[in-house]
Structure 1
């Protein structure tokens, strides 16, 4: 089978490494078409833990990857001013607490918290406390210690990441073809070939559209359709600018609420990534740029650039013999660092359903589209919850709190309100820990608690919860500074 990937950047080269490693040894051919004259968005610098699974599948060495991309470690995301202008909380990776008397830690903690017998949730998260205090270590071998279950991801330079992946892909036999696509030739299967400006024709069995917002194949040629989500997530602009590196970067991403959106701050080893996501209905591009520049710490290293986007996804991610990945498939603001994960998820589902030739059966295509739509929807609902559960005074935020929310999210909030229950759908990205951190961090309403917790006297539950905090505190003392891990990468 011949696979043609149209577009480079993070999505294109992630696909190229995957197909190069897994398909080329089976006799397939993989060609990636990209043009040096077309810039990539290239600001997706923060990730979530599943990327480690993806890298392991592709045989990517962690230290080599981090060294090549200016990478640092990430233990979670700190949300500043989302629930209230003076409050913040961390959405941590990893596990919080352990089950108590047959009930989940979340259920027992909520009950104890309501009784005034427990501290804020972050006190029981090793990742949250390590992130706030600038500590990091990889999981140790001892399975009984919280230090063995540390969940982490990365920050890295997206342009360097694409370059790193390109070297990996070409080492696996992927062929890069320089040129701009000027015509898409259609055929019975969907797409027959792409034609480049210099006259080259590149035919294939399966086409992967990684052409970014332009979506040259999936939309331009095949008219897959667009599901618009701007009514739920109205931010439609971002301003991005790099600044000088922190002397001692924290292993967390910062998401800082602003009058008409939010700012990100992502610490790399060689620089800091900064951006301001906002709604142009509430703030002009000039105002948003000024707001970003006023908030950066350190020296700006380039001129700010504006990125315009629409939130939503293709109605068909897979059409005929074409599959869209990355920005060609859809876009949601990087509030929970899910952009690269959606590329990874799309690739992994595609590899599981890969046809013997470029033409898949309708049942396979329909399932892929259903699975990817569900993934987008569940992430969308998690993002919308951040906006809905706010107590900020500005016009933008009051409108977000009052706006209708998706049905699935409304059900989740209602279930949490009724006794603090959190239910995770099959294959849902965000687990109970993530929802608990979000809902409690943003002061979601909860009435009562799980009645089964009453089987354990509140004093005993509070004692067990206090013991968990003590274990976390003791474990934290064994974690070295994040700067030590970064210095080791610099030394090679």
Structure 2
């Protein structure tokens, strides 16, 4: 029962410096924080898209949004556009908003379903979503409205390397100590806890709690403590990604593009100074050269660096916290970047640790609860990603035929069957994705409920039509007042 007075973070990058910044900001002088990293070790650094909780993180840290946008070359993200996922030529959005206005006991989509079934109203549900409307129009400005129907949730695209540097510049003045060096040896106490990191030059960095941000290497959690890994590649077989930056487009889209191909998918992420591009693919269905050729042939702007190949295995460490080591970031597991969850998992891992931070010693019950919540979060994200792949009409390649025939987890099977029966969606406690997210992807992938909630029948046909017309008009009203995305960025960054 050693009191936790010093935290040692192994590894920099987004995971390391985000962990350092948040721990120091919240715990202050209660603990000392030392971050060990080596300039000789590169970072993956392609995770340039985020989801809305990052805004709360920045607020907790006290980060000024204009400074953040300017220094990380960030742009606004309102949604992800999925192209060719349901079928070739088909597209839909997973926006951060929610369509329409829900009733107390009945989500809006039940009203939409009744209108569709009873009088053939084929208006896409996204026409009632402000995030979608702004994404399509290329417009954005923060909206402060009393009516929740006009909320415009957003996140960011940014340069991950610049973000790590920004966080370092933020963290060191607060008292985070950075130590440059390569780890040569890891020592342990008699009980298995990590005692220290011994660097190549002989220096020894001791700590009471260690945060493993060493990436796929997972130097502490896997190589030293050997916790094991749950391999999920049997349901998420993509195990490679090519990444390459290109020149920016003249017009900056306020959303990520996810474009499905015959053995995986391509991302396109707009930044202020360049585009991020990548091809995620299954090496069992496509060679590395074929994937590279496909990516380079679909860039639409000139590459500004050589392509970089990243190899990974989807899954999670069997324990994210073991002994006195907590793994954060890629060392804790990896779920491909389809829904931009990697940076959020760093954030949620540290927030979870802060909520359970050991004071006078590490208690087994605390560790068990941390691991239980971490596992649940990973499982729900896995199911959400798998939904995109499994519920498809594509049969044009072996990859998509295999994905259609997968034996999906019971948890996802139940969620799909429930939605198809009567449109019900119930969010689990540790599920990152809200009802609106599940709704948009299930509808986008071609799932349609057979029935709707009976509350939708409490309105006459005329009342329902008038209500839908009114909600649609309310959602469209702000568009004329918003800046273009590029004009917002110019104003926000002081250019």
Please classify the TM superposition score into its range, dividing by the shorter chain length.
over 0.9
TM-score, with structure 1 as normaliser: 0.97
Corresponding residue for residue 389 of structure 2: 387
Answer yes or no: is 1:79 the counterpart of 2:87.
no
Q: Give, in whole Å, the separation in 1 of the partners of 2:116 and 2:253.
A: 28
TM-score, with structure 2 as normaliser: 0.96
- Which residue, out of 102, 119, 124, partners 2:128? 124
- Where does structure 1 lack aligned partners over 5 or more consecutive residues? none
Query: By how many angstroms is 1:475 displaced?
Result: 1.9
Corresponding residue for residue 159 of structure 2: 157
Q: Give, in whole Å, the separation in 1 of the partners of 2:62 and 2:272.
A: 24
Moved over 4 A (4+): none
Query: By how many angstroms is 1:325 displaced?
Result: 0.3
C-alpha contact (below 8 Å) 1:209/1:324 kept by paired residues: yes
SS class of match (2:244): strand
Q: Give, in whole Å, the separation in 1 of the partners of 2:309 and 2:197.
A: 30
Q: Give, in whole Å, the separation in 2 of the partners of 1:355 and 1:101.
A: 40
The within-5 A match list for 1:325-344 is 325-344=328-347
C-alpha contact (below 8 Å) 2:213/2:328 kept by paired residues: yes
Answer yes or no: is 1:269 the counterpart of 2:272.
yes
Query: By how many angstroms is 1:118 displaced?
Result: 4.6
Query: By how many angstroms is 1:304 displaced?
Result: 0.6
Q: Give, in whole Å, the separation in 2 of the partners of 1:117 and 1:280.
A: 43
The within-5 A match list for 1:28-177 is 28-100=31-103, 103-115=106-118, 116-140=120-144, 142-144=145-147, 146-147=149-150, 149-177=151-179
Query: By how many angstroms is 1:113 displaced?
Result: 2.2
Corresponding residue for residue 450 of structure 2: 447
1:146-169 deviation digits (Å, cap 9, x = unpaired): 44x110000000000000000111
Query: By how many angstroms is 1:419 displaced?
Result: 1.2
Q: Give, in whole Å, the separation in 1 of the partners of 2:15 and 2:147.
A: 38
Q: Give, in whole Å, the separation in 1 of the partners of 2:329 and 2:348.
A: 10
Corresponding residue for residue 18 of structure 2: 14
Q: Give, in whole Å, the separation in 1 of the partners of 2:159 and 2:356.
A: 31
C-alpha contact (below 8 Å) 2:373/2:430 kept by paired residues: no
Q: Give, in whole Å, the separation in 1 of the partners of 2:122 and 2:108.
A: 12
1:203-254 deviation digits (Å, cap 9, x = unpaired): 0000000000000001111111101100110000000000001111110000
Q: Higher mean Cα deviation, 165-174 or 112-121?
A: 112-121
Q: Give, in whole Å, the separation in 2 of the partners of 1:101 and 1:288.
A: 48
Query: By how many angstroms is 1:459 displaced?
Result: 3.5
Answer yes or no: is 1:397 the counterpart of 2:395.
no
Q: Give, in whole Å, the separation in 2 of the partners of 1:67 and 1:376.
A: 32
- Which residue, out of 359, 363, 366, partners 1:364? 366
Q: Give, in whole Å, the separation in 2 of the partners of 1:267 and 1:293.
A: 17
The within-5 A match list for 1:152-301 is 152-187=154-189, 188=191, 190-301=193-304
Query: By how many angstroms is 1:22 displaced?
Result: 2.2
C-alpha contact (below 8 Å) 1:118/1:462 kept by paired residues: no
Aligned length: 488
Q: Give, in whole Å, the separation in 1 of the partners of 2:99 and 2:237.
A: 32
Query: By how many angstroms is 1:189 displaced?
Result: 5.5
1:117-140 deviation digits (Å, cap 9, x = unpaired): 251011011101111220001122
C-alpha contact (below 8 Å) 1:81/1:256 kept by paired residues: yes
Q: Give, in whole Å, the separation in 2 of the partners of 1:302 and 1:444.
A: 41
C-alpha contact (below 8 Å) 2:66/2:493 kept by paired residues: no
1:49-91 deviation digits (Å, cap 9, x = unpaired): 0001111111111111111000000101000010111110111
Q: Give, in whole Å, the separation in 1 of the partners of 2:69 and 2:80.
A: 19
Label 1:338 to 1:486 Cα distance change in 2 as closer, same or farther (>3 A). same
Label 1:379 to 1:102 Cα distance change in 2 as closer, same or farther (>3 A). closer
